[in-house]
Amino acid sequence: MTALCGACVRVLPVQRAAILIRERDAGLQPWAATDSVAAWVEAVQATAGQGPAVDAVAAGVPVLVADLAETDMRWPGFADELNRVEVAGSMVAVPLQLGVVRFGVLDLYRAGPGKLEPYVISAGLHIADLVIAQLVAGSAKSVHSARQWWDQPLTSRTIHQAAGIVLAQLDIRAPDAYARMRAYAFAHGLSLAEVAALVVANRIRFDT
């Protein structure tokens, strides 16, 4: 997945690319990114539960943002975090979708504001097809095995582990455990991955 993100930057007039995967109960989770800035923006969307990627997956169509500095009316929680570190530029979120199944989203970023050309969006859709093909092939190989779990990024595994801890602490359903962690992260200015690491280290408990 990281290689595909890198290929986007090499062949398209974009400076960053990232992939989020939709996971049951946990929602969208960062999977791969070309650099720390793209990874941070993806983490913000995953934590806030809002942003271009979230809307792209929900609607099943690409979502364009001409200026990331002007998103407060559409996604206030997402915008607050971006404004805190003054992230600028433009982006398009391309859904990873096969029929009615929505796997996640491919985000393409440009360093400066402005609308992306139609051919960039078209190319993004073609690359999204490649990502979906790789996801489907990977799922087929991992049937009846634990490979799918271990192939996940370490942060994703930590988030799932932390959700299990919170679930046990509060005796709640899995979706509610993820929601509790996401709310804590948003309230304390942390990423979901940071909160998960603190839960696993027993530095945060939800039953006290």
**Tens digit of pLDDT for each residue in 130-156?**
888 877 776 545 444 444 444 555 566
Q: Does the pLDDT of residue 18 top 70, yes or no?
A: yes
Mean pLDDT, residues 106-131 taken together: 88
- 11 burial type by CB count under 10 A (0-12 exposed, 13-18 middle, 19+ buried): exposed
Res 144: pLDDT: 41
Q: How far apart are CA 93 and CA 55, in angstroms?
A: 9
pLDDT of 192: 83
Predicted pLDDT at 146:
40
The answer, yes or no, to whether residue 21 has pLDDT greater than 50, is: yes
Model pTM score: 0.72
Looking at residues 47-51, what average pLDDT do you find?
90
Q: Are the C-beta atoms of 166 and 205 separated by less than 8 Å?
A: no
